[in-house]
C-alpha cells in the first residue's frame, strides 16, 4: 500500500473553519486503548452476539492468540487480510487480531456475489481470508476461525511496534470506472475519529452500542470502536434480526441498548411496526448515510426526549464522519431536509467554488474537509488520489451551503454518485457492469422516483432481455447496486452534444401480467404486496425481488401481512417464500418453516442470507 500523501500547509489550513481539537490525537491506536481497558476491567462484558458474550479479558486473549496465528502465516506491516464475516462473535476478535499482527483488514460482505468478492481480494492483494463458515473465493488462502487452533497460540500480544501511519483498514466503495475503489484509512485517522465522536456524542460512561450494519459499511465503525475504547458493550446483531422489528425489539428488551447508529431508510422501515418505540435506544440515536427529513427527526426527538437524536455526515474518505447536527439544539428550525451540521473536534471544513476559493455564507459550493480524519487516499489509484486528496484536504464532491449560524446544509452531488437506502452507489459502476454483457451496445443508468421511492433504473441498447441482463448484473454487483428495473431500448437517446439525454429516457413499464391471485388468502397477500411496492396489482407467481422489492420493503411487507392475517410471520420465512402463492401457502400452515422449497427462483442475496442462517448455530457454538 503506497504512502506519500501530502499534508496541508498553514496557508491552506488558514482558509478552513472548524473546531478546536488539534491535540486530540493521543498517538495510541484503538487496539492499545482497548488493551488498557481490558487490563483495568477484565470481567466487564465487551461483546454480545446471539447467545454468546465475551468479557474484555476473553476478547483480549482471543485476539492475541489469533494475532500470533496470523503472524505465523506471514501477516506483517500492512498485509491485507480480508474479513468475510457476519456480525458475530468472531468479528471483533478478527479485527483486533489483524491490528495486533500489524496487518490491515479489508471487509468483505458474505452476501455479495463471489465475482465481486474476488475483485476486492485481487485489488487489495489480500494474503488471507478469515471467515466463520464456508465461503467461495478464488486464488487466496482461507482460514475458518471456527476450526483455528487458538488454544495452542501464545496468550500475550505479539511484539509489533505501533505506527500511527500504518493502514488500519481498506473499505471499498462504488467506483465510477466500473471497479470499486479502496479507501485507505490509517490508524491515526481511526483514533482521531473515535476520540472526536466520543466527545461529540458525550459518551461519558460505558454504553451499549448496537452494530446493525456490515463491516463493509464504514458506519459500523461508530458502533465497534467507541464502546471498546470506553468500557462499553458492542452488540452484534445479525441481518435477520435488524430487519425484523419484532426480533430487534426482543433483543433490546432482553439486553438493553444505549446507542444506535442507523440509516434513515432502515429506521423508517422499522417504524411500520407497532413495536417501533421498543427498539429505540436510551441515550443516543445517530442517523447517517443519506439525507433525512427534518420534521421526521423532530418527531423522533419528541418521541424520545431523553435520547439525543443526531444527524451524522461524512464520506468514507474522511473516516466515517466529520459533521453532526443535534436535533434538540434547533427546536424552532423549519427545514425540509436536515442540515448535516458542524465539524467534529479537529475537523476543518470549507465551502469553495470551482476555483477553490471560499464562497459567501448562503452560496452553494463544494464541501472540502481537512484535518486528522482525512484518509491516506485510494489504494493503487495515484491519479484519483492526487485529484481528490490534494494538499491533505479531501474534496467531497458534495454541494453544500453554509447557513447563517455556521451550520452546513447539504444540497446535492457534483457527479453521478447517489445514495440509495443508505448505500453509496456510483452509477458508472452499474453501467460498466451492464456494458460487460456481450449483447449490450450502449447503456445508461439513472435514479428515478418509482412509487415514491428512489430506485436505480438501467437502460440498455441490446438484443438481450431484461431478465437476462438482471441475472448478469446480480452475478457482478452488490445487492444494493442491482437496478430495480432494466429497460431495453432500440437506441439510447442522445442530446445535441452527444451525451445521454436523461430527460428522454422512458419510465420503466409496468411488469407483465402473470398468474392472478386465486384464493382469499392470496388476494390478502397480493394486496399487501401492492401497498408496499406502490403498484395497482402484482402477479401471484412473480418473485418479490424481481417485482422491485428489497430487504427494507420486506420489513414493511412482514408487518402488513401480520396486520392483514393476524398471524405471526418470520422475516427469514418470507426470504424463503418469495411469491404471493408461496407466502399464502406459508400463512395457511401447509408449508411452515424453512424446510419448504420456495416457489420461483431466489436471488443470490436470498441464497447467501439463507446459507449464513444455516451456519449461524455452528458459528456461535464454535466461538464459545
Among 603, 594, 550, which residue's Cα sits nearest to residue 576? Answer: 594
| pLDDT tens string 208-227 | 999 999 999 999 999 999 99
Tell me what pLDDT residue 422 has.
62
| CATH code for the domain in which residue 434 is found | 3.30.300.30
Tell me what pLDDT residue 593 has.
40
Distances (CA, A) of 13 to 116, 319, 347, 391, 426: 39, 19, 11, 9, 30
The verdict on 230 and 198 lying in the same domain is: yes
Predicted model pTM: 0.76
What 8-state DSSP symbol labels residue 425? E
Q: Is 298 helix (H, G, I), strand (E, B) or coil?
A: helix
The verdict on 616 and 525 lying in the same domain is: yes
Distances (CA, A) of 573 to 113, 215, 246, 338: 22, 25, 14, 36
| CATH code for the domain in which residue 346 is found | 3.40.50.12780
Residues in the chain predicted with pLDDT less than 70, given as ranges, are 1-27, 175-178, 414-422, 451-452, 495-499, 511-513, 590-624
391, 415, 439 - which closes a domain: 415
What 8-state DSSP symbol labels residue 600? S
The verdict on 92 and 152 lying in the same domain is: yes
Residue 181 lies in a domain: no
Tell me what pLDDT residue 500 has.
76
Residue 394 lies in a domain: no
Number of domains in the chain: 4
Among 72, 75, 183, 63, which residue's Cα sits nearest to residue 126? Answer: 75
Residue 382 lies in a domain: no
The verdict on 49 and 127 lying in the same domain is: yes
Among 303, 295, 238, which residue's Cα sits nearest to residue 276? Answer: 303
394 neighbors 318 (Cβ within 8 angstroms): yes
Gap between the Cα atoms of 236 and 36, Å rounded: 22
Distances (CA, A) of 96 to 36, 62, 67, 128, 586: 13, 9, 8, 16, 43
The verdict on 455 and 557 lying in the same domain is: no
- In the sheet where 80-84 sits, what is the strand order? 141-144, 128-131, 80-84, 104-108, 167-173, 181-186, 377-378
* DSSP per-residue codes, 374-407: S--EETT-HHHHHHHSGGGEEEEEEEEEE-TTS-
The verdict on 366 and 427 lying in the same domain is: no
161, 196, 219 - which closes a domain: 161
Residue 129 lies in a domain: yes
* DSSP per-residue codes, 174-195: --TTSS-EEEEEEHHHHHHHHH
Tell me what pLDDT residue 417 has.
63
Tell me what pLDDT residue 537 has.
80
199 neighbors 164 (Cβ within 8 angstroms): no
| pLDDT tens string 259-306 | 999 988 889 889 888 999 999 999 999 999 888 889 999 999 999 999
The verdict on 304 and 239 lying in the same domain is: yes
The verdict on 222 and 337 lying in the same domain is: yes
Q: Terminus-to-terminus CA distance in the chain, angstroms? A: 35
Residue 378 lies in a domain: no
What 8-state DSSP symbol labels residue 290? S
Residue 390 lies in a domain: no
| CATH code for the domain in which residue 68 is found | 3.40.50.980
| Angle at 93 (CA atoms; ends 83, 173), nearest 5 degrees | 30
445, 478, 504 - which closes a domain: 504
The verdict on 338 and 443 lying in the same domain is: no
The verdict on 474 and 343 lying in the same domain is: no
The verdict on 543 and 608 lying in the same domain is: yes
Q: Is 293 helix (H, G, I), strand (E, B) or coil?
A: strand
Residue 178 lies in a domain: no
Tell me what pLDDT residue 154 has.
96
Cβ contacts of 383 within 8 Å, gap of 6 or more: none
Tell me what pLDDT residue 512 has.
60
Residue 304 lies in a domain: yes
427 neighbors 456 (Cβ within 8 angstroms): yes
E-assigned strands of 110-228?
128-131, 141-144, 167-173, 181-186, 208-211
| CATH code for the domain in which residue 549 is found | 1.10.1200.10
Residues found in the chain: 624
The whole domain housing 45 covers 30-161
The verdict on 483 and 546 lying in the same domain is: no
- In the sheet where 453-462 sits, what is the strand order? 440-450, 453-462, 485-489
Amino acid at each position: 500500500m503506497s504512502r506519500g500523501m501530502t499534508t496541508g500547509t498553514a496557508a491552506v489550513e488558514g482558509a478552513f473553519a472548524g473546531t478546536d481539537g488539534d491535540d486530540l490525537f493521543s498517538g495510541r491506536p484503538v487496539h492499545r486503548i482497548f488493551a488498557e481497558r481490558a487490563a483495568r476491567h477484565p470481567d466487564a462484558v465487551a461483546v454480545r452476539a446471539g447467545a454468546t458474550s465475551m468479557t474484555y479479558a476473553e476478547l483480549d486473549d482471543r485476539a492475541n492468540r489469533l494475532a500470533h496465528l496470523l503472524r505465523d502465516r506471514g501477516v506483517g506491516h500492512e498485509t491485507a487480510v480480508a474479513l468475510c464475516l457476519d456480525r458475530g462473535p468472531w468479528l471483533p476478535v478478527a479485527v483486533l487480531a489483524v491490528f495486533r499482527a500489524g496487518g490491515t483488514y479489508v471487509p468483505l460482505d458474505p452476501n455479495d456475489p463471489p465475482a465481486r468478492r474476488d475483485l476486492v481480494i485481487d485489488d487489495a492483494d489480500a494474503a488471507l481470508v478469515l471467515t466463520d463458515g464456508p465461503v467461495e473465493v478464488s486464488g487466496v488462502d482461507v482460514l475458518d476461525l471456527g476450526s483455528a487452533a487458538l488454544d495452542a497460540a501464545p496468550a500475550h500480544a505479539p511484539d509489533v511496534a505501533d505506527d500511527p501511519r500504518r493502514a488500519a483498514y481498506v473499505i471499498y466503495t462504488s467506483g465510477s470506472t466500473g471497479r470499486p475503489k479502496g479507501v485507505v484509512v490509517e490508524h491515526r485517522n481511526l483514533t482521531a475519529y473515535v476520540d472526536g465522536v466520543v466527545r461529540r456524542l458525550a459518551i461519558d460512561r460505558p454504553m451499549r452500542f448496537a452494530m446493525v450494519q456490515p463491516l463493509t459499511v464504514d458506519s459500523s465503525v461508530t458502533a465497534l470502536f467507541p464502546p471498546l475504547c470506553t468500557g462499553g458493550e458492542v452488540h452484534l446483531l445479525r441481518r435477520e434480526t435488524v430487519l425484523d422489528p419484532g426480533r430487534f425489539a426482543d433483543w433490546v428488551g432482553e439486553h438493553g441498548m444505549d446507542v444506535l447508529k442507523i440509516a434513515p431508510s432502515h429506521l423508517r422501515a422499522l417504524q411500520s411496526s407497532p413495536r417501533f418505540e421498543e427498539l429505540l435506544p436510551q441515550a443516543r440515536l445517530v442517523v447517517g448515510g443519506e439525507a433525512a427529513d427534518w420534521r421526521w427527526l423532530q418527531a423522533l426527538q419528541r418521541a424520545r426526549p431523553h435520547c439525543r437524536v443526531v444527524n451524522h455526515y461524512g464520506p468514507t474518505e474522511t473516516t466515517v464522519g466529520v459533521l453532526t447536527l443535534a436535533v434538540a439544539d434547533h427546536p424552532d428550525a423549519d427545514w425540509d431536509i436536515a442540515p448535516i451540521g458542524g465539524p467534529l473536534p479537529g475537523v476543518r471544513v470549507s465551502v469553495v467554488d470551482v476555483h477553490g476559493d471560499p464562497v459567501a455564507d448562503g452560496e452553494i459550493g463544494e464541501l472540502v474537509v481537512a484535518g486528522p480524519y482525512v484518509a491516506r487516499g485510494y489504494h493503487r489509484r495515484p491519479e484519483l488520489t492526487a485529484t481528490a486528496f490534494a494538499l491533505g484536504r479531501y474534496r467531497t464532491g458534495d454541494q453544500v451551503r453554509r447557513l447563517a449560524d455556521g451550520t452546513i446544509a447539504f444540497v446535492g452531488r457534483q457527479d453521478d454518485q447517489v445514495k440509495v437506502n443508505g448505500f453509496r452507489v456510483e452509477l458508472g459502476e452499474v453501467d460498466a457492469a451492464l456494458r460487460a454483457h456481450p449483447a449490450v451496445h450502449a447503456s445508461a443508468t439513472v435514479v428515478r422516483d418509482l412509487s415514491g421511492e428512489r430506485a436505480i433504473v438501467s437502460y440498455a441498447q441490446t438484443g438481450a432481455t431484461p431478465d437476462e441482463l438482471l441475472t448478469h448484473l446480480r452475478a457482478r454487483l452488490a445487492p444494493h447496486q442491482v437496478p430495480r428495473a432494466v429497460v431495453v431500448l432500440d437506441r439510447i437517446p442522445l442530446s445535441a452534444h452527444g451525451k445521454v439525454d436523461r430527460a428522454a429516457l422512458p419510465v420503466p413499464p409496468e411488469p407483465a401480467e402473470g398468474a392472478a391471485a386465486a384464493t382469499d388468502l392470496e388476494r390478502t397477500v397480493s394486496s399487501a404486496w401492492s401497498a408496499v411496492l406502490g403498484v395497482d396489482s402484482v402477479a401471484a407467481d412473480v418473485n418479490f425481488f424481481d417485482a422491485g422489492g428489497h430487504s427494507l420493503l420486506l420489513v414493511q411487507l412482514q408487518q402488513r401481512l401480520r396486520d392483514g392475517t393476524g398471524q405471526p410471520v418470520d422475516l427469514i420465512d418470507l426470504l424463503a417464500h418469495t411469491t404471493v402463492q408461496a407466502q399464502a401457502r406459508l400463512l395457511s400452515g401447509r408449508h411452515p418453516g424453512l424446510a419448504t422449497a420456495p416457489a420461483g427462483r431466489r436471488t443470490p442475496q436470498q441464497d447467501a442470507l439463507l446459507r449464513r442462517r444455516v451456519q449461524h448455530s455452528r458459528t456461535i457454538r464454535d466461538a464459545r
